[in-house]
A and B are shown apart, each in its own frame.
Chain A
Amino acid sequence: MQWQIEILLYIILIVAALSALGIRNLLAAVVILNIFSFMSASIMVSMGAIDVAFTEAVVGAGAVGVFNILAILRTSRKSLD
């Protein structure tokens, strides 16, 4: 039963990474990156590395999101390419 859940987590991880690359609204890209970090934390939990997963979840939710939003506010909201 475990490998089906892991396959599902990997699929969500890859879809989140690709859509964060392709989306034009940068604020939405930051939120999708949060989903990416939460999914990687879940994969680490399923591998049994609780400490690494905890660090990944805390840093991805607490620090990286805030600093990405700050960078967007200092520059521009839309992607240029």
Chain B
Amino acid sequence: MAAAAGLPPRGDLHAPAHLLVNPAGAPVAGAYYIQHAYKHAGTPNIVTVVLADYRGFDTLGETLVVFTGAISVLFILRRRRP
């Protein structure tokens, strides 16, 4: 709680997470996606590009988790159909 009071407010333009280069001198990862997402994928929604293109393997895992849930429910609760 004491540490949370020292965080910058939400939406602050000068917070370290929203700069191009962080205070240690390394480039921030989010700025690269914001600058290049439309050029790479031709899609205005950055969230969709990150979810489906840059991090497509995560979305594949999420889909397989849902599919595995359906398969396991089917194997556990299946009754004989006439």
Contacts and interface: CB of A to CB of B under 8 A. Distances in A.
Q: Do chains A and B touch in the complex (CB under 8 A)?
A: yes
Contacts of A47: 10
Main secondary structure of the interface of B (DSSP, over half): loop
Which size bracket describes the interface of B in this complex?
under 10
Contacts of A51: 47
SS class of chain A's interface: helix, strand, loop or mixed?
Answer: helix
Q: How large is the interface on A (under 10, 10 to 19, 20 to 34, 35 or more residues)?
A: under 10
Interface string A37-72: 000000000011001000000000000000000000
B47 A48 contact: no
B73 to A, nearest CB: 11
A48 B12 CA distance: 13
4 contacts: A47-B10, A48-B10, A48-B11, A51-B47
Q: Lowest 4 A-B CB distances belong to which pairs? A: A51-B47, A47-B10, A48-B11, A48-B10
